[in-house]
Amino acid sequence: MITVSAFRWVPPFAQGLVRDLRVRWALEEAGLPYEARIIGFEDQATPGYRALQPFGQVPAYEENGLTLFESGAIVLHIAARSENLMPADAASRARAMTWVISALNTVEPPIANLAEIDLFPGDAAVKAARRPEVEQRVRLRLGEVAEVLGTRDYLEDRFTAGDLMMTTVLRNLRQTDIVASFPTLAAYQARCEARPAFTKALDAQMAVFAAA
């Protein structure tokens, strides 16, 4: 059985954004059953958990003696087992993998910087001075993604793991109206989030927080 670690509780601003969501969604798309290993913040630094996840984060992935960490690596591992996430032909698979890496390496960093300014404690004056430049970087990247997307439903000719990862990255802007200012991207995000596998994954994550 596949086991995926997830937090028992996070602050409301992070609920629905924790990165085990990416793995849960991929598993639902692939039709692979899994169990959630629920951990508290007190578990993150323990030797047992660090053996699974060297940085003490979530998710950690376990399956038949295989342990993986980093959501992007885990999603790619799952996607390799399902044509629902990775096309069969080599060129299309390579492009889908490129979009996964692009979402993580090119699009997510400025979004993460903006979220840090908006959601975490810090010097208010410093944050206010820094925010316009960071938002400009975010808008630049989103404009580039929107241009590539054009009138298509997905980044390629069908939904892939690249769309899954890009959507979870865009979700990290929900405290802003930035995605809404790009109608193409807003429709794209809504389209991906309307997938039954996403709904099931999100419901599973949120149920844990509700129970806590």
Same-domain pairing of 56 and 141: no
The pairing of strands 34-39 and 66-69 is unpaired
Same-domain pairing of 56 and 118: no
How many domains are contained in the chain?
Answer: 2
Same-domain pairing of 103 and 57: no
Q: What is the CATH number of the domain that holds 189?
A: 1.20.1050.10
What DSSP designation does 58 have?
S
Contact at 8 Å (CB) between 167 and 158? no
Cα angle for residues 200, 178, 57 (degrees, 5° grid): 50
Per-residue pLDDT of the chain (212 residues; tens, 9 = 90+): 999 999 999 999 999 999 999 999 999 999 999 999 999 999 999 999 999 999 999 999 999 999 999 999 999 999 999 999 999 999 999 999 999 999 999 999 999 999 999 998 888 999 889 999 999 999 999 999 999 999 999 999 999 999 999 999 999 999 999 999 999 999 999 999 999 999 999 999 999 999 98
Same-domain pairing of 183 and 130: yes
What DSSP designation does 53 have?
-
Q: In Å, how far are 102, 139, 148, 151 from 161, measured between CA atoms?
A: 12, 23, 17, 19
Q: What is the CATH number of the domain that holds 204?
A: 3.40.30.10
- Domain limits for position 52: 2-84+197-211
d(CA 12, CA 47): 28
The CA R_g of the chain, rounded to the nearest whole Å, is 17
